[in-house]
Chains A and B, each alone.
Chain A
Amino acid sequence: MNLTELEILFNQKISEVHPRFKEENRPESFYIVNYLNKAIREIIQDRLINLPTFEQRISAIDIHQDEFSELIVPNKLLTNPKSISNYNWTDRGNRYQVPSDMLIAISLNCVHTRIEVYPYSEQKVFAQFVSRKQAERIVSDPANKSIFVRPIVFIDDKYYLTLIGDAYTSDISTPYLTYLKEPFDLSHEFTKLNSTSPILSISGIPDGSYFRMLSIGEYVNSAGSSTIYEPGDKVLKVSGYNVINQVDSDQDLEVGYPYNYTDTPEFPEFMHDILLEMALRMFLEEGNLKLVSKQEAQ
């Protein structure tokens, strides 16, 4: 169900609850959309966030894999490394900027080189998420030359995570993070543009704003160089470039904008009824209060 279909059902159900909601107390779309967005956050909060430890969250993501699969972003290359040479870790670790839409980190792999126990060169390995407290015990210092075969990673703050190896790590780089992202907000502002021809005109998208690729296509990057974009990519609309070219002739071109919005909940279809029920419950709890206060006023 897309947003309009959800809204139709929402209005239909509240009208069945009380005829006042059909006309006099009919909620505007803005409020319905807000309740639906609130319900999305509540579902994630209930099932994943309100768990005390990282391990429990990861376990919950595994359990609810079918429900949240659309929110999982696999293997996103982390960029903007920030040296932590001020510490004793030197080149054994780095801080990396986390994606701005990250909600829960799921796993991270990186290219790792070790000397001695057990030596290998440029192997792609999974890092282990630990808490900052655990990291303090693992990280080597002059008095403690610890051995920890897998690199460790912990969330530093809302912008950075730290990836470090043990005392025998000689190089660590190219981290790819798999994470659960924040869902896009539902909004009627979200507009899709599509074309069955090899060219899609995007002149309606304001210059300087971001749009989302919904199919593979060729556009330019911020410097004006031709770039292939994949579905889900965040793309800057560059002034003077108003056309996206088809890359795969089997795929119709499609983009959506603004980037931060969507018109369909990022949950599988079977979750939409649960989402709607939750939004209705929240609305009616407040709606009942409104009705009571009106009767009192009369």
Chain B
Amino acid sequence: MTGVEAKEAFLIYYDRVTSFSAPGYEDEEIYQFLSDAQLEFVKERTFGLNNLPPKFDDNEKRVADLFPLIETTGLISPTANTDYGNAWYCSKSAGGIISPLYTFGVSALLKRSGYPEIADAKWIECERIKSENAAKFVSNTFNKPHFVKPKWFETNKNYIVVCDAYTTLFSGLKFIYIKNPYSISETSLEYDGSYDATHMSLHSSTHKEIVDLAVKSALQVIGDPRWQTKMQQEQMEPDK
């Protein structure tokens, strides 16, 4: 499906649901609905509907749906961050990271002096923590924490990785994340595997669901009672 085909599908479905009785939308508005629906689709596939399971990697279909947006970086050199003790950070706009939307995997290349000792740098998978809990893991006068897997969290601009007091060298980071899909527009061409502004970012098999979500949003905006009915029906259906 191209951008134009998505818009036409939106109109057909919207008109059929409202029996031509609802106000029409401008093309720009429809593309906005479609782009928003695409983001909603990615969010739901990543975290589950209403943040409930199944989420992203609980289900192979979800992984397959988002496959075009999943990106794994190569080695990225971090910068020391003394604000969090033995910690390093990496900008979200660092070379090798392309427009990250949701990050779900971070690995660090590090050495340890003990518990256990890692003399030759090895890749260790990091664990995500809430940023407000980061202080619990910071090495300082009062805290000499031990945890083999470094902890990471993100701010609006950076990824921050906090290591324990026994980590001696931290020389690289790798990320697995979901890229931000490009907006759907009039010029969007059929998905062909490339990630750029001139092509749809997700596979064709997902487009119908994105159009459905866009129509649902459009109905919600005009306060159409059929939207409520449809929502109730969907809640009774098993999750996709």
Report A's interface with B, CB cutoff 8 A: 4-5, 7-8, 11, 23-24, 26, 28-30, 188
Contacts and interface: CB of A to CB of B under 8 A. Distances in A.
B146 A4 contact: yes
5 contacts: A7-B144, A26-B137, A28-B145, A29-B144, A30-B143
B136 A7 contact: no
A11 B146 CA distance: 9
Given A23-B130, A28-B145, 14 more contacts: A4-B114, A4-B115, A4-B166, A8-B115, A11-B146, A23-B133, A24-B136, A28-B136, A29-B142, A29-B143, A29-B145, A30-B142, A30-B143, A188-B144
A279 to B, nearest CB: 16
A236 to B, nearest CB: 25
B141 to A, nearest CB: 8
A4 B115 CA distance: 8
Contact of B115 (A5, A23, A188): A5
B109 interface: no
Contacts of B142: 28-30
A24 B132 CA distance: 9
B129 interface: yes
A21 B205 CA distance: 44
Interface string B154-176: 00000000000010000000000
B38 to A, nearest CB: 33
Nearest to B115: A4
Contacts of A26: 133, 136-137
B143 A23 contact: no
A24 B144 contact: no
B129 A23 contact: yes
A185 to B, nearest CB: 15
Contacts of B146: 4, 7-8, 11
Contacts of B144: 4, 7, 29, 188
- The SS class assigned to the A binding surface is helix
B218 to A, nearest CB: 38
Interface in B84-119: 114-115
B130 to A, nearest CB: 7
Contacts of B137: 26
Nearest to A12: B146
A29 B147 CA distance: 12
Nearest to A28: B143
Contacts of A7: 144, 146
Q: Which 4 A-B pairs have the closest CB atoms?
A: A30-B142, A28-B143, A26-B136, A188-B144
A93 B9 CA distance: 109
Contacts of B145: 28-29
Contacts of A29: 142-145
Contacts of B129: 23
Nearest to A10: B146
B135 to A, nearest CB: 9
A188 B146 CA distance: 12
Contact of A23 (B114, B136, B166): B136
Of A7, A23, A24, which is in contact with the most chain B CB atoms at under 10 Å from its CB? A23
A30 B146 CA distance: 13
Nearest to A27: B136
Nearest to B146: A8
Contacts of B115: 4-5, 8
Contacts of A8: 115, 146
Nearest to A189: B141
A197 B37 CA distance: 70
A6 to B, nearest CB: 10
Contacts of B114: 4
A26 to B, nearest CB: 4
Contacts of A5: 115
Q: A8, A24, A26: which has the most chain B beta carbons within 10 Å?
A: A26
Interface in B185-215: none
Nearest to A187: B144
Contacts of B166: 4
A18 to B, nearest CB: 15
A16 to B, nearest CB: 15
A131 B144 CA distance: 46
A83 B151 CA distance: 64
Contacts of A188: 144
A23 B129 CA distance: 7
A258 to B, nearest CB: 14
A29 B135 CA distance: 12
A152 to B, nearest CB: 48
A28 B133 CA distance: 12
